[in-house]
Amino acid sequence: MAKKAPVQATLSFDESESGSAFSFISPVKDPNPLPPKEPSVITVSELGERIRDVLDCELLTGITVTGEVTGYRPNSSGHLYFSLTEKGETDAAVSCVMWKYAAKHLAFPLKDGLAVNITGHVDYYPPSGRMQFIVKKIEPAAGGKTGLYLQKEMWKKQLEAEGTIPRPESEKRDPPLFPKCVGVVTSRTGSVLQDIRNVLSRRYPLPILLAPAQVQGAGAEVSIVSAIESLQGKVDVIIVARGGGSFEDLFVFNHPDVVRAIRRSKVPIISAVGHETDTTLSDFASDRRVPTPSAAAETVVPDRTVLLNNLEEYRRRMHDRARGIISTNKSAVAELKMRVDPSRLSRRLDMMHQQTADLEERIKSAFSRKLKVEADSLEQLRDRIFKGAKTRISTAVLELSAQKEKILSCDPKKPLERGYALVQMNGAVIRSKEQLKKDDHLTLCLSDGEVTAIVEKIS
C-alpha cells in the first residue's frame, strides 16, 4: 500500500500583518509534487545488523545499571544468565549475560534478590531476536546490609589475593610476658576504654597509652590507621578494640586500609572488635583475636594475684628443698666425721695392712703355682721334642743307608769285585760278540786293574 506524498512546509515573508520580518504561514502545496517512493525490502539478518548498529552507541556502551538480580541461571559452561529488575511505580527488567571470562573475576556469589550495579553494554542477539545486556563487571549496590556483605566479600578476596590475610601462624607474635606499656586504639568515650582500664588495674597495673580513634562512620578507617601508626615504637603491645554493635557499626574494621595497617604493624596487635560471634577482616590480620575488649586486657598482661601465688609457691618449694639438702648434708658430714675418727682410722689401717699381706701371700702362692705349671709344661715339651728328634734321626739314618745301597748297586765296578770284567775296545763298552772280530785289541777292566787281550776266536 503506497504512502501519501509528504506535504512540505514553507516560509513566506509578510510584513503587513505581523510587522515582523519573518512569520510562519499555512503550508503551501508544491505545484509539482514528487511521485511516491516505494519502500525497500530487507532481510531479517539485515534488520538485526541495523538494530546492532543503532545499539552500538555511546549511550548504550560502558554504562552502569542498578537493580535486583532475578531468574539467576548459572550455566555449566561458566556463563551466568539472569535478569536485572526494578520494582516500583513502573516495573522494568532487562535480560543479562556475563560470559565465562568475566564471571571468573566475580568477587562474590550471585543469587536472586541481590541489589547490584552491573557495568557493560547493550547488545542484540540475531539468532534468537533477543536484546540483552552484556555484563563486564558486577559490584554490590551502595547501601543496605546486603551491599555491605558483598563489599566485605570483595575486600576479603582482594586482601587474600595480595597476601595480607590470613596472617600465617608462623608470623603470629605473642605479646611480651611482662609488658611495660600497653597501647589502646578505641574511642575516647564509651565503656571499652574503662573496661580495659579496670581489668589492667586489677590484674597488672601498668601505663596505658590511648590513641583515640573514630570507630564507626565515614572516615573512621583513616582515624584507626592513624592511631595504629602513632603507637609504633612507643608500646609493647596494641589492643584494637570496639564494643558490640550491628554489622554496619563494625563494618569499618573490614576496610582494607585498616587490615593492612594491622598486618604491617611492628608491634603485636590484639583484635577485640565486637562480641565473640562478630568476625571482621581485621581479625585475620592481627596476631591474636579475642572475643571482647576485657578478654584482650586479660591476654596482654599476667594476673598479679596468680604471679604472687606462684612466687609464694616457688619460695615454699625452695625452702623445703633447701631444708632437705641441709638435712642430707648433715647426715653425710656426720658419717664422714665418724670415718675420720683416729681410733677408727687406725683400725681401718690395720685391716688394710692385713688385707695387703693376705693379698701378697695369695699373689706369691698363685705365682709359684703358675711357675710350677709352666715348668712342668716346658719339661713335657722338651721330652716330646727330644723324642721326636730321635725318631726323625733314626728314620733319616735308615733312609740314608737305603739310598747308599741303592747308589752303590748302580756302580758299574761293583760287579768286578765278584769276578766279572768290563770289556772295552777303544773306550767303548762291548756288550755283544757281534761287535768283535779276530785280532781286535780289547781292554779288560778288573776290580784291581786292567788287562790287554787280543781276540783269537769268536764262537
The full length of the chain comes to 459
Query: What is the tens place of the pLDDT at every residue in 154-177?
Result: 889 989 999 998 999 999 999 999
Average pLDDT over residues 347-368: 87
Query: What is the tens place of the pLDDT at every residue in 202-248?
Result: 999 999 999 999 998 767 899 999 999 999 999 999 999 998 888 88
Cell numbers that stand for 409 in this block? 748297586
Say whether pLDDT at 300 is over 90: yes
Amino acid in the structure at residue 267:
V
- As a whole number, the mean pLDDT across the chain is 84
Query: What is the tens place of the pLDDT at every residue in 38-88?
Result: 678 888 888 888 888 888 888 888 899 998 899 999 998 989 999 999 887
Contact 94, 60 (CB under 8 A): no
Which is more confident, 110 or 382? 382
- Residue in 172, 165, 184, 168 with CA at minimum distance from that of residue 287: 172
- Percent of all residues in the chain with a pLDDT value above 70, rounded to a whole number: 89
Cell numbers that stand for 141 in this block? 549496590
Backbone angles phi, psi at 439, to 5 degrees: 75, 10
What Cα–Cα distance (Å) separates residue 274 from each residue in 211, 219, 242, 291? 19, 19, 6, 7
Average pLDDT over residues 89-110: 85
- The pLDDT assigned to 143 comes to 58
Query: What is the tens place of the pLDDT at every residue in 242-279?
Result: 988 888 888 889 999 999 999 999 999 999 998 888 88
Confidence of residue 332 (pLDDT cuts 50, 70, 90): confident
- Residue in 233, 231, 202, 232 with CA at minimum distance from that of residue 302: 202
- The pLDDT assigned to 6 comes to 43
- The pLDDT assigned to 198 comes to 94
| Most distant CA atoms of the chain, gap in Å | 212
- Residue in 447, 458, 391 with CA at minimum distance from that of residue 421: 447
- Residue in 266, 280, 241, 250 with CA at minimum distance from that of residue 159: 280
CA end-to-end span of the chain: 179
Q: Which of 56-60, 84-88, 141-145, 290-294 shows the lowest mean pLDDT across its residues? A: 141-145
Q: Which residues contact 290 (CB under 8 A, 6 or more apart)?
A: 270, 271, 272, 296, 299
Confidence of residue 140 (pLDDT cuts 50, 70, 90): confident
What Cα–Cα distance (Å) separates residue 422 from each residue in 114, 406, 411? 149, 21, 12
Q: Cβ–Cβ contacts within 10 Å for residue 423, how many?
A: 16
- The pLDDT assigned to 235 comes to 96
Could you give the CA distance from residue 234 to residue 209 in angstroms, rounded to a whole number? 8
Could you give the CA distance from residue 127 to residue 143 in angstroms, rounded to a whole number? 39
- The pLDDT assigned to 173 comes to 94
Which is more confident, 362 or 27? 362
Q: Where is mean pLDDT largest: 88-92, 113-117, 130-134, 259-263?
A: 259-263
Q: Cβ–Cβ contacts within 10 Å for residue 416, how many?
A: 16
Say whether pLDDT at 23 is over 60: no
